[in-house]
Amino acid sequence: MIDRPGLADFLRRRRQLLRPTDIGLPEGVRRRTPGLRRDEVAQLANISTDYYARLEQCRGANPSQAIVASLARALRCDPDERDHLYHLAGFSAPLRYSGGYVRPGVMSLLDRLGDIPACVVSDLGEMLWQNDVAAITLGWTTRSDSHRSTNIVWRWFTEPDLRNCFPEEDWPKHSLAHVNDLRATSARRGGDADVADLVAGLLEKSEEFRDLWAHHEVAVHRFDRKRFLHREVGVLHLTCEALLSPEADTKVLAFFPTEGTDAREKIALLRTIGTQGFHPYPHSHA
pTM of the predicted model, to two decimals?
0.72
The length of the chain, given as a count of residues: 286
Q: Who contacts 89 (Cβ-Cβ below 8 Å, separation ≥6)? A: 2, 3, 7, 62, 63, 65, 68
What is the rounded distance in angstroms from the CA atom of residue 172 to the CA atom of residue 159? 15
In what order do the strands lie in the sheet containing 118-122? 127-130, 118-122, 250-257, 234-244, 223-230
How far apart are the C-alpha atoms of 152 and 226, rounded to whole Å? 15
What is the structure's pLDDT at 31?
64
Please give the chain's pLDDT, 286 residues, in tens.
899 999 999 999 999 988 877 776 666 666 666 788 899 999 999 999 999 999 999 988 899 999 999 999 999 998 889 999 999 999 988 877 777 888 888 899 998 888 899 999 999 999 999 998 998 888 776 554 556 888 999 999 998 888 999 999 999 999 999 999 999 899 888 778 999 999 999 999 999 999 999 998 887 778 899 999 998 899 999 999 998 776 668 899 999 999 999 999 999 999 887 645 444 444 333 3
Distances (CA, A) of 78 to 7, 42, 69, 73: 16, 19, 12, 9
Report the alpha-carbon distance of residue 98 to residue 246 in Å, rounded: 9
Q: Are 2 and 90 in contact (CB under 8 A)?
A: yes
Beta bridge partners of 229: 235
